[in-house]
Amino acid sequence: MFTDLPEAALRTFRSAVVDPVDFDEFWEATLGSARSLAASRPPVFTPFATALTSVTVTDVAFAGFGGDEVRGWLIAPAGVDVAATVGADGGAQLPAVIEYLGYGGGRGNPLSHLLYASAGFVHFVMDSRGQGSGRGQGAGSTADPHGSGPAFSGVMTRGIADRDSYYYRRLITDAVLAVDVVAALPFVDGSRLGVVGGSQGGALALAVAGLRDDLAAAVVFVPFLSDIMRATTITNENPYAEIAHYLSTQRSRVEEVASTLAYFDGVNFARRASAPGWYSAALMDPVCPPSTVFASYNEYAGPKQMTVWPYNGHEGGAMEDRAASLRVFAEVLRG
Amino acid sequence: MFTDLPEAALRTFRSAVVDPVDFDEFWEATLGSARSLAASRPPVFTPFATALTSVTVTDVAFAGFGGDEVRGWLIAPAGVDVAATVGADGGAQLPAVIEYLGYGGGRGNPLSHLLYASAGFVHFVMDSRGQGSGRGQGAGSTADPHGSGPAFSGVMTRGIADRDSYYYRRLITDAVLAVDVVAALPFVDGSRLGVVGGSQGGALALAVAGLRDDLAAAVVFVPFLSDIMRATTITNENPYAEIAHYLSTQRSRVEEVASTLAYFDGVNFARRASAPGWYSAALMDPVCPPSTVFASYNEYAGPKQMTVWPYNGHEGGAMEDRAASLRVFAEVLRG
Amino acid sequence: MFTDLPEAALRTFRSAVVDPVDFDEFWEATLGSARSLAASRPPVFTPFATALTSVTVTDVAFAGFGGDEVRGWLIAPAGVDVAATVGADGGAQLPAVIEYLGYGGGRGNPLSHLLYASAGFVHFVMDSRGQGSGRGQGAGSTADPHGSGPAFSGVMTRGIADRDSYYYRRLITDAVLAVDVVAALPFVDGSRLGVVGGSQGGALALAVAGLRDDLAAAVVFVPFLSDIMRATTITNENPYAEIAHYLSTQRSRVEEVASTLAYFDGVNFARRASAPGWYSAALMDPVCPPSTVFASYNEYAGPKQMTVWPYNGHEGGAMEDRAASLRVFAEVLRG
Amino acid sequence: MFTDLPEAALRTFRSAVVDPVDFDEFWEATLGSARSLAASRPPVFTPFATALTSVTVTDVAFAGFGGDEVRGWLIAPAGVDVAATVGADGGAQLPAVIEYLGYGGGRGNPLSHLLYASAGFVHFVMDSRGQGSGRGQGAGSTADPHGSGPAFSGVMTRGIADRDSYYYRRLITDAVLAVDVVAALPFVDGSRLGVVGGSQGGALALAVAGLRDDLAAAVVFVPFLSDIMRATTITNENPYAEIAHYLSTQRSRVEEVASTLAYFDGVNFARRASAPGWYSAALMDPVCPPSTVFASYNEYAGPKQMTVWPYNGHEGGAMEDRAASLRVFAEVLRG
Amino acid sequence: MFTDLPEAALRTFRSAVVDPVDFDEFWEATLGSARSLAASRPPVFTPFATALTSVTVTDVAFAGFGGDEVRGWLIAPAGVDVAATVGADGGAQLPAVIEYLGYGGGRGNPLSHLLYASAGFVHFVMDSRGQGSGRGQGAGSTADPHGSGPAFSGVMTRGIADRDSYYYRRLITDAVLAVDVVAALPFVDGSRLGVVGGSQGGALALAVAGLRDDLAAAVVFVPFLSDIMRATTITNENPYAEIAHYLSTQRSRVEEVASTLAYFDGVNFARRASAPGWYSAALMDPVCPPSTVFASYNEYAGPKQMTVWPYNGHEGGAMEDRAASLRVFAEVLRG
Amino acid sequence: MFTDLPEAALRTFRSAVVDPVDFDEFWEATLGSARSLAASRPPVFTPFATALTSVTVTDVAFAGFGGDEVRGWLIAPAGVDVAATVGADGGAQLPAVIEYLGYGGGRGNPLSHLLYASAGFVHFVMDSRGQGSGRGQGAGSTADPHGSGPAFSGVMTRGIADRDSYYYRRLITDAVLAVDVVAALPFVDGSRLGVVGGSQGGALALAVAGLRDDLAAAVVFVPFLSDIMRATTITNENPYAEIAHYLSTQRSRVEEVASTLAYFDGVNFARRASAPGWYSAALMDPVCPPSTVFASYNEYAGPKQMTVWPYNGHEGGAMEDRAASLRVFAEVLRG
């Protein structure tokens, strides 16, 4: 059954999310500081042995927020000799796809991520700090060495008392810096970069699109973290409900939480995006109800396109969304 | 929590499944008849366009049980020119992996199946007739043009009144004939074939291992359809519970159902298998409780190995099981 | 709690179900073909022994769609010597009630069906092909010897790719031909026939009322299969949700499914009905939400009456609906 | 899945229910007192109009426990002129079946109870005092004009602090006196009486069989109220769980409750029964787990027979149990 | 997620509950009769030993509706010598708080009720007759020696066929008379009385505020029993749903039930209240949806104040509501 | 229903939890280091205004693990002038009770904690770092400024890769140091200290009893964190299941996790305890199954007593357990 407004109303829905006056300043400072720390901690590339023949896998450890080590898989077409070319000049440069993960999951086994490299792209899958242990998801390898104030289970309310301490400040910064790492690879063409993800991964891809102006494409499936405060009032499903649970106990903090979240809401990132954006939304999605997806889509400042899946829940288009992303990247990134 | 016997008891558990005296006769007749029909209906290979560069995808339609059209994806390393070599002689021959699918799912989008071809194997994914519409699973493309008597929802009780009309007679026959198709490909080395699958896919791989003597490896994850009658008394989860629901109404048919199922039980296929077998079982699996998995494993007649996942449910090893299968195939099939 | 629109809105709700231009043509051809096959396969009547003294029970096997054998119970007041009069002329003729069954159930034990014969009516209970195995429902005895394309569990999506192959084409045809069988009984007065059923049984009674002009009454309790596509968007309950599940995987088939279903939607049968119709709807029904019931009621072309049960779910009026049907039949059929 | 011990263990299971030394004294006093009050309050018979022709329906109001008015339906074969014969002598005498109802339900609409009269028996359906309002069950018409101490929802703990005030003292007394009423009907042969019921109805039939020695048959389907204290420790399902909920709050009353219940436990009634008894039990029954059914069956002092339904839950044999009861009554009561 | 109307709509929501013309007459007669009986049955005070040093606990048994014994805890600051002063004149008089309990619970252990006496108030906690056995709630000690007609589990439908026999007539009368008892204590200042409660306790506090004009404050948290008939159509949660379940079976009694409930609906008590009232409502409350709370608040005739908890369910403000009540009582009752 | 072994088996159950050889060394080092940091960070006491008259409330901030600020409520009988006496000598010394909280909750509103001070004890309620946001629980005020590796939702797996980084190392250290703070209060008699808690609070009280030898009593209700690895295999309920979820993804870490947990398992603390211990366990507890409670009880090295609640779930004795604790403390601490 449909979980939200009728499609016609979704098309015209306008979010009431406030755009903080110092939003850009906050993120500039945040990213600037993180990049300073990262400058002195170059990424470490370690070949990862598999039985695969068409692609190579490299374990990457790079400095994210606070200079913390963040891990990822670099999966490259077999033709690319990652070990040899890193640090070297010359050679053909390939387009690259940076992917972010859904809530609770980690980068898992690299065998799970063969799609984009099998199509000739350099592919980087960023691990999500402190997550990576959800049943049925990939195992994570990245710590989040930052504590938090009182919080409900999950990461949605860690550090939420303050924009500076909020978990997603760190994760989004990691996501932006992952692109720095990929763009700097000698065998990557930095002008042909795409970001992609579903749910939390979509939220991260959207945030990156709002914080960088060098992307060629942003593909955002059933994104999480859009019109967050509204979301907490229209669904009982986690992870949005984690915030409602927190506020049911931390009763006096509603304004504080809303103030914090405004700096991390996909609606505000959408207002700043310039790269062409591809979204999907699902009309039977109880986790990321479609009005929250349209909340950011309808604000998206770049060229944009939306696929609506009427009979799907939070799986959205699933592999059909992936197939669409492949078509997008083939068209936009391959030139 | 653990859903079944302690691991030590699992190791020594012996199934009481009866081995029908005419089991072999039944399957010889069934397969013989199907192969006769298939002889005059050669498979049809149709290239399927994707944006992939490291593999090629071919849509295959072959004659399964009753000569019915069964579909599958043939995914080959880019080096193999499927179109050119089909029907031709000569050229290098590759090992091949035939994969079967879980209950309710279909072959879906070929982008979902990049693993084995990325490791240099010819890979064939067989669609499951009349399934292929489960939420969150791949879409199917294969009809099951055979009706049934009164049945409960799902396929577990379709035609269950009789071994000849039972749904799994058709699906298992398809699975055996899929190997015929792959073995006959000019670019495949018929002495280096492996079968693989999880849950229903594992049941099919096991059945094929029991019905063929030309396989080099059978990899069976958390297999379904083993010690079936016992399973209906120790779990309330579908699909085993479909049988319990059916018998709750068709009260007089318990013996009839047990008689039918004996011809399709993984325990009896295991008793006949000769290829090296790799199993997995999960101690928290409520869908295919581990004693039903050990029921067939402990009878398995070929060389065998078991991986036990203590903290997993029906996802079993998930991608870790897949990674293990890749190591197995690399070792056994690549020579 | 109420599951749908307020009652006032229900009273004026108009369905958007399209009426295909060749709807009548499709059903004329379908029924014509089935009747041709049935002409050469006369029904078989077999006395069924019970300890009952006030009624007699006869097992009936008649030719339904495709000439397939369909079973039913003929329950007659003890005064009627079914065995003697079948095939003979003369004797008093009684009014008759033809009943259809709910989703998943079968005709079960004839002891379950004593109501109408105890009131002096000849009563025929038609089995539902290929169903009849649901927990807590009656066992079925009728096969559905037709396969289907990829389908979700249950019968809602069997053959749904095409109006010709759709499951309900067969079941509705059976329902219409069951009336032929009853009307031809020498001890039945063919001008005093009523049809009755609840949920799927109500859908069948309504379909028969839309396809025949010789009925004296149609009693339709909380009917299923009305405004079907709308139903899939306003409830998560099976069986309507089976269609949503199917379309969540078979994503490209929404239009195809809608096209097929238009030929089987109760709204279109209601537009063609002429017999007096009695409906019931329940305001707390999550299975057949009341707006879908009013969708057909508000289009019903014959004289009509609606009972609304404000505090009931899908049980509707239950035995109170039955009692009302008895009053209707006593008034309309007994003359 | 099986909810209790394996069938072999059930066959030999012996209950630890204590048999109070003054059990017989308690019940003699209770019934004696109730019969004294009833002696001066003769039952009132009121014809109830239906459209039925094969049976007649009479509303009966008789004095139960405390002289309280208890209602029931008297359903008789059309040949019996109830109105005329009540209070008169002479005429043929028929066997009779007294039926009791499941937990929460009431006598409902008499159209629900056509089975036994359709087979030539006089049939009496006793309403359950103070129940009769459960969703999907029959409406009741009988008050329970006795209050209770602190109690959990439902009737299981009403008055449980004391054997004298316990709800089931009243209900069982009603059940015994209902047989007095039926036995005294001039058109009933008091030597050919049977009692029947399922779940709570089975518990009542069993209690009556333990408290009367004039019954020809007791038919007891999946009976409730046997080995009650054990039941509270092996199932979480209501109504047994009502006692567990009560004791979770009224923590000091465990012994008190056990003492009360011993006077109402089916195990103790079984120890005193002499009429031939037919039981059923279901191996997948989570409401009345089969070891509690065997607890009384294995103590049953009269001739006895057990039907085990391996694949059924609390529906047990459903209409198949009913059909069996009809065969039993036809054989035993018809002579 | 929000369970009801948006807050702005709640603020202006007007209930359609009818105000019976003889409402006041009914309650005057009811209370007059109860007070007559109580006049000759003075309360009994029994010291209750605890290890507490700052308060004393007294078990109180007083005559409620029908002269029935109702129990309560009298918890007084240690300075008050309850035993000595009862029945005596003189000494300082303290303000008092009378508290009522939530649905299903009883007065439990007095250690649960230390709040108001620890702040210097005499505190009386009234037990709820016939309840007091819900899991996780306090044990009750008060019987409800009145039976009922057919009813659904719980107390919502006990005696609902008639305003005179309805359960809440008795419980509300108890609540009013409890204030009589407290007001008559020599160490209590009868001009400084407050009532308080949440859910059912809030409903009772509100009813008392509507039936007495001598209260200084009424504190009503997420109250139950307001706009009851509307509530049954907008929530599936018990206890409101008990009425819906009852009416699903007792189908013809909708008007009867509505007529009865009008005499017990918080909307009508609110229309008569004069004491200052403090309410709370929770926007995510599925048990007492906020529109039913505002239904009475918007009619409340005295000075009033509302706290809205946006992120809470039926726990409402929980201890924050309690803390607010303490501030209210400190301000209003202490002078 | 009972969730675990029969009571007789519980009484003799012996846990297989390993006692690490360097357990004592680990905790000595941990506590020594924390106390060193705490030495230079004296606790800060801030009066907290309430309307209470019988007790005073003081907000305490003390240095816990790592010198991190940990908050608590100090609730003292009104006679104690906390502000004046802190830091001063002289005056009567009272016994004190230190309480720990259940999983997910925080210290909440001090009004929730009136019991022990109302009985004349100084009472300290320690907040749980980083928790304090669970629905229906108290709000927390204490941060946990330490990050973690990949973890599942909740705190059970934070830092679990290593005993040094594990969350409970910090929380248990806080708990031990809280006793240091209380023991040092001038108005507290350090020889009359008791610890108390339920569930996680019981686990902490037990850990403190195992790590200190100066306690006069340890009261442990339905304790969590005992025989942890066994617990994960016998219950699906959180929080134990958090570990199972983690291990379902972090498959290779089973040994690592078991190694870590041995340093925090209540079985090992019980082996070292010397203070008299009072336990409770509940036979229907699905959260902390009773065999895990008996696992530590049966190892408890001090004098001990166990209360078994047969009909309770994880609420255990609830206020009855509290009342028992009051009796224990009155007897043991008051002298």
- For β-strands B277-282 and E94-99, DSSP reports them as unpaired
Instruction: Read off the amino acid at residue A331.
Output: E
The residue whose two tokens read 């700052």 is E54
pTM: 0.97
Q: Considering chain F, what percentage of its residues have pLDDT values greater than 90?
A: 94
Is A233 an 8 Å CB contact of chain E?
yes
Confidence band for A196, pLDDT divided at 50, 70 and 90: very high
Q: D199: left (phi > 0), else alpha (psi -120 to 50), else beta?
A: left
Mutation to test the A interface, candidates F133, F141, F164, F169, most A Cβ within 10 Å: F133
Residue D71 lies in a domain: yes
**pLDDT tens for each residue of F274-309:** 999 999 999 999 999 999 999 999 999 999 999 999
F88 pLDDT higher than 80: no
Mean pLDDT of all residues in D321-333: 97
Residue C236 lies in a domain: yes
pLDDT of residue C89: 54
Mean pLDDT of all residues in E303-312: 98
Q: F103: left (phi > 0), else alpha (psi -120 to 50), else beta?
A: beta
pLDDT of residue C314: 97
Residue A139 lies in a domain: yes
CA of B245 to nearest chain A CA: how many angstroms apart? 27
Low-confidence ranges of chain C (pLDDT < 70): 84-91, 335
Name all chains with 3 or more CB-CB pairs below 8 Å to chain E: A, C, D, F
pLDDT of residue C85: 55
CB F136 within 8 A of CB F112: no
pLDDT of residue E134: 85
Nearest CB among B51, B78, B135 relative to A330 is that of B51
Residue D1 lies in a domain: no
- Burial (CB < 10 A; 0-12, 13-18, 19+), residue E227, is buried
Q: What is the 3-state secondary structure (H, E, C) of chain C?
A: CCCCCCHHHHHHCCCCCCCCCCHHHHHHHHHHHHHHHHHCCCCEEEEECCCCCCEEEEEEEEECHHHCEEEEEEEEECCCCHHHHCCCCCCCCEEEEEECCCCCCCCCCHHHCCHHHHCCCEEEEECCCCCCCCCCCCCCCCCECCCECCCCCCCCCCCCCCCCCCHHHHHHHHHHHHHHHHHCCCCEEEEEEEEEEECHHHHHHHHHHHHCCCCCEEEEECCCCCCHHHHHHHCCCCCHHHHHHHHHHCHHHHHHHHHHHHCCCHHHHHCCCCCCEEEEEECCCCCCCHHHHHHHHCCCCCCEEEEEECCCCCCCCCHHHHHHHHHHHHHHCCC
**Considering only CA atoms, which of A83, A26, A21, A8 is closest in space to residue A49?**
A83
Confidence band for D335, pLDDT divided at 50, 70 and 90: low
Is the N-terminal amide bond of C276 cis, ω within 30° of 0?
no
**pLDDT tens for each residue of D218-232:** 999 999 999 999 999
Is A235 an 8 Å CB contact of chain E?
yes
| C305 φ/ψ angles, rounded to the nearest 5 degrees | -150, 145
Mean pLDDT of all residues in E108-116: 98
Is F139 an 8 Å CB contact of chain A?
yes
Residue E251 lies in a domain: yes
**pLDDT tens for each residue of E214-245:** 999 999 999 999 999 999 999 999 999 999 99
- Which residues in chain C have Cβ-Cβ distances shorter than 8 Å to A7? none
pLDDT of residue C264: 98
Instruction: Read off the amino acid at residue A294.
Output: F
Burial D1-24 (b: 16+ CB within 10 A, else e): bbbbbeeeebeebebebeeeeebe
CATH number at residue B290: 3.40.50.1820
Q: Do A251 and E315 touch (CB under 8 A)?
A: no
C residues 37-66 lying closer than 8 A (beta carbon) to D? 50-55
Confidence band for F235, pLDDT divided at 50, 70 and 90: very high
Mean pLDDT of chain E: 96
Instruction: Decide if D199 is catalytic.
Output: yes
DSSP E strand boundaries for chain E: 44-48, 55-63, 69-77, 94-99, 122-126, 188-198, 217-221, 277-282, 304-309
| D157 φ/ψ angles, rounded to the nearest 5 degrees | -115, 10
Confidence band for A168, pLDDT divided at 50, 70 and 90: very high
- Answer with the residue of higher pLDDT: D181 or E88: D181
pLDDT of residue E88: 52
**pLDDT tens for each residue of A269-319:** 999 999 999 999 999 999 999 999 999 999 999 999 999 999 999 999 999
D4 pLDDT higher than 90: yes
From first CA to last CA, the distance across chain D in angstroms is 41
Instruction: Read off the amino acid at residue B328.
Output: V
The residue whose two tokens read 């009033």 is E304
**Considering only CA atoms, which of B31, B106, B115 is closest in space to residue B323?**
B115
Mean pLDDT of all residues in F150-167: 97
List the catalytic residues of B: 199, 285, 314
Confidence band for A81, pLDDT divided at 50, 70 and 90: confident
**pLDDT tens for each residue of B84-120:** 655 555 568 999 999 999 999 999 999 999 999 999 9
pLDDT of residue E89: 53
Domain residue limits at D132: 7-332
Mean pLDDT of chain F: 96
Q: Considering chain A, what percentage of its residues have pLDDT values greater than 90?
A: 94
Q: Do E311 and A251 touch (CB under 8 A)?
A: yes
DSSP E strand boundaries for chain A: 44-48, 55-63, 69-77, 94-99, 122-126, 188-198, 217-221, 277-282, 304-309
CA of D248 to nearest chain F CA: how many angstroms apart? 5
- Which residues in chain D have Cβ-Cβ distances shorter than 8 Å to B236? 1
**Considering only CA atoms, which of C199, C197, C164 is closest in space to residue C286?**
C199
**pLDDT tens for each residue of A96-151:** 999 999 999 999 999 999 999 999 999 999 999 999 988 889 999 999 999 999 99
A79 pLDDT higher than 90: no
**pLDDT tens for each residue of B246-273:** 999 999 999 999 999 999 999 999 999 9
d(CA F144, CA F71): 11
A214 pLDDT higher than 80: yes
**Considering only CA atoms, which of F173, F143, F144, F141 is closest in space to residue F159?**
F144
Residue D2 lies in a domain: no
Could you give the dihedral angle defined by the CA atoms of residues D72, D73, D77 and D83, in that order, rounded to the nearest 10 degrees? 80
E103 is in an annotated binding site: yes
- Counting every residue written for chain D, the total comes to 335
Residue F231 lies in a domain: yes
- For β-strands A55-63 and A69-77, DSSP reports them as antiparallel
**pLDDT tens for each residue of B21-48:** 999 999 999 999 999 999 999 999 999 9
**Considering only CA atoms, which of B186, B194, B197 is closest in space to residue B128?**
B197
- Answer with the residue of higher pLDDT: E26 or D335: E26
Mean pLDDT of chain D: 96
Residue B53 lies in a domain: yes
Confidence band for E141, pLDDT divided at 50, 70 and 90: very high
Is F244 an 8 Å CB contact of chain B?
yes
Q: Which two tokens stand for residue F236?
A: 């699906």
Mean pLDDT of all residues in E43-66: 97
d(CA A111, CA B118): 9
Mean pLDDT of all residues in D240-257: 97
A27 pLDDT higher than 60: yes
**pLDDT tens for each residue of F311-328:** 999 999 999 999 999 999
B167 pLDDT higher than 60: yes
Mean pLDDT of all residues in D77-106: 83
CA of A227 to nearest chain E CA: how many angstroms apart? 14
pLDDT of residue F135: 85
d(CA B330, CA B216): 12
D88 pLDDT higher than 80: no
The residue whose two tokens read 């109302």 is F118
User: What's the total number of domains in chain E?
Assistant: 1
Mean pLDDT of all residues in B134-161: 95
pLDDT of residue B194: 98
Mean pLDDT of all residues in F108-131: 98
C and A touch with 3+ CB pairs <8 Å, answer: yes
Burial D129-151 (b: 16+ CB within 10 A, else e): bbbbbbbebbbbbbbbbbbbbbb
Is A310 an 8 Å CB contact of chain B?
no
Q: Which two tokens stand for residue E218?
A: 């009424």
